[in-house]
A and B are shown apart, each in its own frame.
Chain A
Amino acid sequence: MQAQSLIARTGFYIAVVAIVVIAVFPFYYAILTSFKTGTQIFEVTYWPTSFDLSNYRTVLTGRTFPQNVLNSLFVATATVCLSLLLAVTASYALARVRFRGRGLLLITILAVSMFPQIAVLAGLFELIRFLGLFNTPFALIFSYTIFTLPFTVWVLTTFMRDLPVEIEEAAIVDGATPWVIITKVFMPLLWPALVTTGLLAFIGAWNEFLFALTFTSSETTRTVPVAIALLSGASDKEIPWGPIMAASVIVTVPLVVLVLIFQRKIVAGLTAGGVKG
């Protein structure tokens, strides 16, 4: 019995170590590669062997990469603000007011978030051309609402539904209008949910690729994922792995730090709505 439980414990900890190593290793290896230059890059090593920042210098002084980072920051921030603004009032109505067709509306909103983005690509392309937004950040901000808005509405609705009804009743008795109830009563309670959904929407917008690839056409309007995907060397044969890894680390570190700081909130946001059924 003793031996058996020892084996079980050992097996368990081996599983734990395997999970951690597999999860972290690719990122670790990208960091390791980003510090190598020249022929060192082509020697496989499992431990850090050099600490050379020249790849980072190459990327950060490059023609367009700093601009790409700024583009991504602007697009993601604006997308988050826009979707939170639209979602707060909408989710109040969906969570707290009984009206006919509410269930259907919720399902429709959820359905939009499940859209294959390629299905709207042709139509969006036409609309963005028509509005003169092609190759501007606004094309991306506009098109990103298709996946950030439904998600934000969804999570905020589930969150607001769980707020006690007494608070609202007290406000109504005091003669507060719905607008006052949202801004003065619910907003202070909503902060945790706003941070969570805002963060998730930010990550979604920061990582998006299909729209960013299709609706921008010049190097200076690209966002970071497109810039990294299209980063190429002097010829087809020589892919600049060092700078690619440096760029990857630069755009990933802030995300990883954010996610680790807010991990509890993020997990709560991801599971909201999902596991309640």
Chain B
Amino acid sequence: MTSPSTSPARAGTGAELSLQQQRVRSAFWFLAPMMVALIAAAAWPLFRTIYFSLTNTTLSSLYEGEWIGLGNYLNWRTLSSGKTIYRGTLVDPAWWNAVWNTVRFSFVSVLLETVLGLLVALVLNAEFRGRALVRAAILIPWAIPTIVSAKMWAWMLNDQFGIINDLFLNLGIISEKIAWTASDATSMYAVLMVDVWKTTPFMALLCLAGLQMIPRDIYEAARIDGVHPVKVFFRITLPLIRPALMVAVIFRALDALRIFDLIYVLTPNSSATKTMSVISRENLIDFDKFAYGSAQSTLLFAIIALFVAAYIWLGKVNLTGENR
């Protein structure tokens, strides 16, 4: 790769490009490979997914799909008896169950992770012996692959031989063994437990970074004025780390809304935990309803896009870090 910006300047006939123009021109060439990669891996596949959602394509014959408009989303037929039958994702109870599961999971997990992450960050922000050790320890859940943590917890949550049931029985928290991952009543708790365990460290580290940017003398001043520590937290700490917290929350929320792997491995086939990603992939690949699954994943994309737009707009989040 050589710099393309040198050639026009070398011609020397009359108007040489200004330095700024040269730089902009080379910037274009520097950006081009990345743009091509992102268009090929993200923009084009997204466009094709949306296109597939408007056809009746199947997995076995990818190129023989016909345009059927919005039929995968909603279509209806009036029977001779005058009764109208509605079909499509938008009237599919399984889809709405998945939407509800995803929303519930995202809301609860992000809320718990934010509160716990903030608490852990406050602990780590205090000076004590062995702090480096604790910080290293909380990185472990984050470093473990999601699939591995799902398997580890599946074993710990095993109804017969799991250590969680053993521990809870001994502590008197439960009176009989619970089939955490298998029963519909508890599978969501199991998923939440593992997700909170795995991602609270990420939240804690982002919060900690925010906390460490608060100048110490503010706390000093508050202490001299005799302000109660709880009031200090709500009046000083929280407003000051709000920008960091807002960004951390949206990253977590987006991860939660698209969750797939943990649920696929920890609670397979449980309709109580099936999320939008899980049900879309099931239709796309396993059930040979390629176009129907495309419609569902398009809807998930739309929901997430709307959510992000609303969050940034309402929360006035500055994500680029420019014009500080």
Contacts and interface: CB of A to CB of B under 8 A. Distances in A.
Interface of A: 12-13, 15-16, 19-20, 22-24, 26-27, 29-30, 33, 41-44, 46, 82, 86-87, 89-90, 92-94, 97-99, 103, 105-107, 109-112, 114-127, 129, 142-143, 145-146, 149-150, 153, 158, 161, 172, 177-180, 182, 203, 206-207, 209-210, 213-214, 224-226, 228-229, 241, 244-245, 248, 251-252, 255-256, 258-260, 263, 266-267, 270-271, 273-277
B146 interface: yes
A209 B260 CA distance: 9
A210 B206 contact: no
A20 B162 CA distance: 21
Interface of B: 1-3, 5-6, 19-20, 22-24, 26-28, 30-31, 33-35, 37-38, 40-42, 44-49, 52-53, 62, 119-120, 123, 126, 128, 130, 133-153, 155-156, 158, 160-163, 166, 197, 201-202, 205-206, 209-210, 213, 243-244, 247-248, 251, 254, 257-258, 260-261, 264-265, 276-277, 280-281, 284-285, 290, 293-294, 297-298, 300-301, 304, 308, 317-322, 324
B62 A129 contact: yes
> What are the 5 tightest A-B residue pairs by CB atom distance, in nearest-first order?
A123-B45, A123-B48, A116-B258, A93-B27, A90-B34
A116 B206 CA distance: 22
Contacts of B143: 203, 252, 255-256, 258-259
A251 B145 contact: yes
Contact of A118 (B152, B251, B277): B277
A277 B243 contact: yes
A122 B213 contact: no
Nearest to A210: B260
Nearest to A143: B41
Contacts of B49: 119-123
A97 to B, nearest CB: 4
Given A46-B163, A122-B297, 11 more contacts: A26-B149, A92-B30, A103-B320, A107-B319, A110-B319, A116-B254, A122-B45, A122-B293, A127-B48, A145-B37, A274-B244
